[in-house]
Amino acid sequence: MRAGVPRETAPRETRVSLIPAGAATLRKAGLEVAVEAGAGEAAGFPDAAYAEQGASILPRGDVFRTSDILLQVRATPVAGPLKSGQTIIGFADPLGAPQASREVATTGASLLSMELMPRITRAQSMDALSSMATIAGYKGVLLAANALPRMFPMLMTAAGTVSAARVFIMGAGVAGLQAISAARRLGAKVEAYDVRPVVKEQVQSLGARFVELPLESSDAEDKGGYAKAQDESFYRRQRELMLKVIAANDVVITTALIPGKRAPILVTREMVEAMAPGSVVVDLAAERGGNCELTVPDEVVVHRGVTIIGPSNPPALVPYHASQMYSKNITTFLLHLLGKDGAQKPALALSTDDEITRETLLTHGGDVVHPRVRELLGQPA
């Protein structure tokens, strides 16, 4: 059984799905590993490092043609010919772009989505959304610090006192909590807010102040721990109450997401205009439409002296460690899926009795099999 690692082809994608250490892990489990020439280059992993771990370095066409399992960062849109019986694993944006799953289904290949990994203890080391959010939160703070005409720490020097930067984090999930830690480590004064009241203690334990708004949001969390979408009147009230908090900060970092939905607008033009010139907004939700009304993905917008930065793929700005973490997530997932055949060779057993397989499996046997994605495609249950 062979696992193949194609080079990623999406614009600005610098990550690779498997690093040399991951290739070694798969080899130990009895798999062959084929890596497209140059696949790890942008992330700092040369072909020779894969070859040293026993991987074959092949042209792209051969990786697609000869692999039983394809490991990708972005599994869709599919960037090569798939065939029946092949399995492809990666981010597939199943709720945002479900038609891509239908396209894979027509090839007969099985597609497993990293986004749909259940948030259960057993699957923690396979949770790529969390590992990528960790990187985004950290990098978001550095982008802000770099663009801010101030320093983050409070300093008392012979040349006078420098006050600490004030940083406001909106959305205190995995990315937001990591942003709080990174901003605190740089010495900023940090506040944070989230619709899910359960995060208050986590925010405080990282040394930040939790901003409370008198808003009803008891029903803010679904059973997977994700935020639920609220109605427009909630978002309007939230924006009204938020203006003052935002105006009092030098940096705003937004991370608010709702699975499968456009990111909610939390920072309006009016709020940006209420910020002091020189302030910075980093919008880590840019890929999903952005939390700031003025965000233009992958551009630096300066509006009345306020800089708005919206990287569409923040983990790709830290490709080495993003690939290392993703590689650990995807190899753990693959090893979980592998059983042994009669001859004690590794074999893929996609059994939907297993919760992790059931929740992540999008296509199998020529059909889209995931109930939520079938519903989005208007297919019968």
Ligand X SMILES: NC(=O)c1ccc[n+]([C@@H]2O[C@H](COP(=O)([O-])OP(=O)(O)OC[C@H]3O[C@@H](n4cnc5c(N)ncnc54)[C@H](O)[C@@H]3O)[C@@H](O)[C@H]2O)c1
Q: Which residue's CB is nearer to ligand X, number 83 or number 269?
A: 269
Is-catalytic flag, 230?
no
Cβ 156 to ligand X shortest distance, Å? 35
Please state the length of the chain.
381
Q: How far is the CB of 372 from ligand X (least distance, A)?
A: 16
Q: From the candidates 53, 86, 101, 127, which is the catalytic residue? A: 127
Chain centre distance of CA 4:
22
Catalytic residue among 2, 119, 150, 358: 119
- The CB-of-265 to ligand X minimum distance in angstroms stands at 9
> How is the beta sheet containing 280-283 ordered, strand by strand?
209-210, 189-193, 166-170, 251-254, 280-283, 306-309, 300-303
Taking the C-alpha atoms of residue 204 and residue 100, their distance in angstroms, rounded to an integer, is 41
Minimum distance, C-beta of residue 174 to ligand X, in the bound complex (Å): 4
Least distance from ligand X to the Cβ atom of residue 203, Å:
10
119 catalytically annotated? yes
Give me the amino acid identity at 95. Answer: L
Nearest residue to ligand X, by Cβ distance, number only: 173
| Annotated active-site residue in 17, 130, 312, 327 | 130
> Helix-strand-coil percent breakdown of the chain, rounded to 5?
40, 20, 40
* Beta carbon nearer to ligand X, 26 or 253: 253
Q: Which is nearer to ligand X, 32 or 283 (CB)?
A: 283
Nearer to ligand X, 28 or 262 (CB): 262
226 catalytically annotated:
yes
Give exposure, 49-81, as e/b (b: 16+ Cβ within 10 Å). Answer: bbeebebebbebeebbeebbbbbbbbbbebbbe
Chain residues in the site for ligand X (CB under 6 A): 119, 124, 127, 129-130, 133, 170-176, 193-196, 225-227, 238, 255-259, 264, 266
- Mention every residue, 6+ apart, whose C-beta is less than 8 A from residue 133: 173, 174, 175, 178, 255
Rg (CA), the chain: 22
When the beta carbons of 107 and 202 are compared against ligand X, the nearer one is: 202
What's the rounded Cα separation, in Å, for the pair 130 and 72? 17
Owner of token pair 């205190």: 172
- Which residue in the list 99, 124, 163, 204 is annotated as catalytic? 124
Q: Is position 283 annotated as part of the catalytic site?
A: no
Q: Of 62, 181, 226, 235, which one is the catalytic site residue?
A: 226
Active site residues: 119, 124, 127, 130, 226
